[in-house]
Structure 1
Amino acid sequence: MPTLTEPKLISGNANLPLARAIAKRMTMHRGVHTGLVDARVERFNDAEIFVEVYENVRGEDMFIIQPTSNPANDNLMELLIIADAMRRSSARRTTAVIPYFGYARQDRRTKARTPISAKLVANMIAGAGIERVLTMDLHAAQIQGFFDIPVDNLYASPVFALDIKTAFRDRMGELMVVSPDVGGVARARELAKRINAPLAIVDKRREKPGEIAEMTVIGDVKGKTCLIVDDICDTAGTLCKAAEVLIENGANEVHSYITHGVMSGPAVERVGKSVMKSLVITDSIQPSAPVRACDNIRIVPTAPLFTQAILNIWNGTSVSSLFDDDTLGPIYESLYSAG
C-alpha cells in the first residue's frame, strides 16, 4: 500500500551522533535527503526542559530518537516533552526509538515496598502520546507487556554474530559463548546458535548488591576462546571478575560482547586493566571520550539496524525479518564483507 507521508526524524540530546547516522543512512537507502527535524531542546536556568520545533509536522510519521541513558531522568523527560510537542502539533503518528531503555532493570519487585519503575515509565511514554516503541535488547522480555502500545524489540545478537564471524574467522572452532549469570542464558544461547558454538555459564552468588561473593564456571572452558555475552555493562565489576574466573579455569582468551555500554564510574579503568582481550559494545548509548580512547573497547554501530527497522515500520513491513542473517547481512555488508 503506498505511503502518503514521509518518515521524519527528530532527536533529543541523549545520542545525537546516532540520530545523525540514522538520518544519513536513510538518505542513502531512499535516495531522498532525510535530515533531523529542525528543533531546539534546551534547558531553562532552573533545569526545566523546553522544546520548540521549527518545521511543520502536521500529518507526518514522526520518529523520536532518544535513548533514556545517563542522565536517565533528563533524557526521559526530553523524550516525553518532545512527544507532547508532536501530539500538540498534529503529527499523524509518533514512534519512540529508544535504543537503550532506562529503568529496565527495575522490572519486578525484588523486596517488599519497592516499585516496578519500568512499568511506570511505560505508562508515562504511552501517556505522552507515543503510539509505538522501537528499542533494542530489553533487559527483560516481559517489559514489552508493560506497554499497551506496540513494542518492537530488536536484538544485537545477529549483528554480534556477523562481527564474530569476521573477527574470529580463522578460529571459529575454538569459540565458546559464556553467560555471566544464569539469568542471561537465553541471550547467550541465541548467539551460540548463530555461530554454532558451545555454551558455558558463570554462576555468581551475591552477598549484597554491588558485591560478588563467589563465581563458579559451569562448563569446560579449558583451551577455549570465551565470548561473554550480556545486555548491560554498568560498572564492569561482574564482567571483569567473570573474565578472571574463566582464565583461572583454563580459557585461552576472553572477549566480551555487551549491547549497552553504560560504563559508569570505574568501568573504563577496570576494562582497561582487565584480562579481557576486548570488549565490544554498541553505540545505543553515546560512548564517552574515555570509552572511545580505551584500547580494548570496540564499538559496533547500530544505525544500519535502526534505519532499516524505521523504514520497515514506516512501510508497514516486517521488523522481525531483521533477526535473520540473510536480511541483516546486506545491511552491514560494508562493515562485514565476506572473506
Structure 2
Amino acid sequence: MFENSDGGVRIELRELTKRYPGQATPAVDAVSLDVPAGELVVFVGPSGCGKTTTMKMINRLIEPTSGEIRIGDEDVLRMRPDDLRRHVGYVIQQIGLFPHLTIAQNVGVVPKLLGWSKAKINDRVDELLGLVGLDAADFRSRYPRQLSGGQQQRVGVARALAADPPVMLMDEPFGATDPITREHLQNEFLRLQRELRKTIIFVTHDFEEAIKLGDRIAVLRDGSHIAQYDRPARILSAPADDYVAGFIGTAGTLKRLALITVEEARTAGDGPEGTAGLPEVEATATLREALDAMVAHGTEEVAAVSGDVRHRLTYQDICQAINSESREVEPSGG
C-alpha cells in the first residue's frame, strides 16, 4: 500500500485539528509536522496536551475534524480505515494481546487478515519472536497469561511488526513495566530500529525516554501546539523557550551524556597495558553510563571494551566530548 523501499515512509501532518462537541478549545489545534522516512519521532509533553490524540488520528482511531495526513504519497483521509490500520503497526501500554489466542496466533493476526498462507505466517512468527528476543520453540504455544509483563510487551512489538508495516505508532509502550525491564525493552527496541529503520511515532511523558529513543523530539504543550521540534541534542543545548527549558529540567548536561557513546568519545588506543585494572564499560555504552562506572569505582578512568580491543576513557575525555557536542550540534531542522 505504501512505498517502503528503505524501511519507512515519510509522514506529513498539515493543520491537523480535532474538536470535540461542547469543548471550547480544540484537543489538537492545527498541528503541522514532517516525519522523515525511517526516523523515530517522539511526542513528549504533559498529560492532556493532545499527544496521544494526534497520534491516533494518523491511523484514524480518532477521526480528525480538519487537516491533512499523508503517509508516503497516500492521502490517509481518503483510505478505508481498516485497510489503513492493517498497514500501520500499533503498540500500546496495555499491550492488548488476545488472552484466548496463543502467542503465535496473536502475532499472526494481521497476516491472517491479509490472506497470508499458513506456512508464511508460521515462518514470520518464528522470525519475529527471535527478533524480539523470545525463543519461538518455547513461546509460540504459550498464552499471554503465562508471560511476564516485559515478555508480553515484546510480543506486542512483534505483532505490530508482523506484516512489515512501514509505519509504527507506539503509545507509552513501556510505561507499565518496572524500571529495569523498561530500560531493557528500550535497549532492545533501539537495536531493532537500527536494523529495521521503520518510520515511528512514539508517545511518552518521560523526557529521558524521549532523549534515549528519538531521532527527533516534538515537545508539545496544551492543544498539541509544538513548542519545539528538533534533534535531541539541539533541544538540550538550545531550548526554544522557558517551557521547553522547564521540561528539560536542571540536568541538561547529564542528559546530553546519554546521547554520546564511549566509542565516539574515546581517546587513542591504550591497549591492555594502559587499561589494566580499570573498571570496564562496553564501547557502545553511553558517556552517562561510563560516568556512573567512574563514580561507583571511585576512579577518573575506565576501560572501553569492544571485543578484544581496549581503550582508556578519562573524566577529562567526557568533559571534552560534551563541550565539543555543544559546539558542533547540528542546526535546527537538520
Question: TM range, normalised to the smaller chain?
Answer: under 0.3
- State the structure with more CA Rg: 2
> TM-score, length-normalised on structure 2?
0.27
| Higher share of residues assigned helix | 2
> TM-score, length-normalised on structure 1?
0.27
Q: More relative contact order in 1 or in 2 (CA 8 Å, sep 6+)?
A: 2
